[in-house]
Amino acid sequence: MFHSPLSPAEQYRQVGTATAVSQADPHQLVMLLFDGAIAAVLQARHAIATGDTATKIATIGKAMRIVDEGLKASLESRGDAALEENLANLYDHMLNRLLLANVRGDDAALAEVADLLGQLRSAWAAIAPKPPTERADLHA
């Protein structure tokens, strides 16, 4: 009989994530990347606090992949090349801090990255496009 190595809670979480991604617009996808990176960093901080080296390594690796292959890779210059360059440099800084945190078990580096990601997420949320409003006369 087929046996899944994932717990029912993990299977449910994966279905929820897949559903959120499949229904998200590009702006929401970036929000999901921020959320995933922040969650991974917070899990890594907990792993360091509890001495769970395997989880620390896995979650920092996950955060690094999200920052590098998700957030950094999604940068587009839409008329402001300096902004794109500054964000790319900030993501590189985060990757360096995450690497340091992984090698040294440095919680301060993880705290810094979590703070930076939180600030960027807040700024990104503030510029979210407004959903189109439905016209009242169409429902009459």
For the chain, the domain total comes to 1
The pLDDT score that the predictor gives to residue 12 is 47
Which one has a higher pLDDT value, 16 or 77? 77
Do the domain assignments include residue 5?
no
How far is it, in rounded angstroms, from Cα 12 to Cα 83? 38
- Which DSSP state fits 78? S
Digit-coded pLDDT (tens) for 51-100: 999 999 999 999 999 999 999 998 986 778 899 999 999 999 999 999 99
Asked whether 101 and 113 are in contact (CB, 8 A), the reply is: yes
Do the domain assignments include residue 108?
yes
Do the domain assignments include residue 63?
yes
How far is it, in rounded angstroms, from Cα 81 to Cα 92? 16
Do the domain assignments include residue 77?
yes
Is a pLDDT exceeding 80 seen at residue 22? Answer: no
Which tokens in the block code for residue 58?
């896995």
